[in-house]
Chains A and B, each alone.
Chain A
Amino acid sequence: ETGVTQSPTHLIKTRGQQVTLRCSSQSGHNTVSWYQQALGQGPQFIFQYYREEENGRGNFPPRFSGLQFPNYSSELNVNALELDDSALYLCASSARVRTDTQYFGPGTRLTVL
């Protein structure tokens, strides 16, 4: 059974650029959630995707957007990067949309200069 994978591991961008982060869910999982974790803080929920549709969103602006594909993998897109977007971005998958354990990937560390 393959766990949750994310790519890339690290990324450096400049302010105003756009970035795409990728996540492959654990085998058999149809729900993917994305989180942002700033240094020294707990993860903050960005949004969740279930069956290729957004299924809940946290307090993040529209420049944070996502996709889920038929194989349940997912992308997180961030436009017009700001310095405060520098963080660890975590993806989690679960087998059921509401009541199940979430399994996290290793994360993508984004630095915005």
Chain B
Amino acid sequence: GIQVEQSPPDLILQEGANSTLRCNFSDSVNNLQWFHQNPWGQLINLFYIPSGTKQNGRLSATTVATERYSLLYISSSQTTDSGVYFCAGNSGGYQKVTFGTGTKLQVIP
């Protein structure tokens, strides 16, 4: 199966700062999604982005499928952005969805 690496593994930001999270895939991937997992364990959809660029408020994401990576941008971070960010996808026709290793973000006031 595919391998998914995320960087950085941990990130501490001052409120108001910007950040970029990266997701690298070992093979071409379908159905790429970004999630935010809050401290209570709930996984929240941020983007479904198999290719191209999308924006939603302070968040945006870009996937370059040919180069097997995706980026998540967080601008003007807020304390509520704290949590773990995961990217995930599957390869070819295989139903198994593989999650990345996660980036743990802490935004401090």
Contacts and interface: CB of A to CB of B under 8 A. Distances in A.
A51 to B, nearest CB: 13
Interface in B62-105: 86, 88, 93-102
A27 B100 CA distance: 28
A7 interface: no
B98 A104 contact: no
Main secondary structure of the interface of A (DSSP, over half): strand
Interface residues of B, number: 23
A100 B99 contact: no
Given A58-B96, A92-B43, A104-B44, 19 more contacts: A37-B41, A41-B102, A42-B101, A42-B102, A43-B43, A43-B99, A45-B98, A48-B96, A56-B94, A88-B41, A98-B31, A98-B93, A101-B33, A101-B45, A104-B42, A104-B43, A106-B41, A107-B42, A109-B41
A45 B94 CA distance: 12
Interface of B: 30-31, 33, 35, 40-45, 48, 86, 88, 93-102
Interface residues of A, number: 27
A70 to B, nearest CB: 21
A42 B100 contact: yes
Interface of A: 33, 35, 37, 41-45, 48, 55-58, 88, 90, 92, 97-104, 106-107, 109
Given A42-B86, A42-B100, A98-B31, A103 B93 contact: no
13 contacts: A33-B97, A35-B99, A42-B86, A42-B102, A43-B88, A43-B99, A45-B97, A48-B95, A55-B95, A56-B95, A57-B96, A97-B95, A102-B33
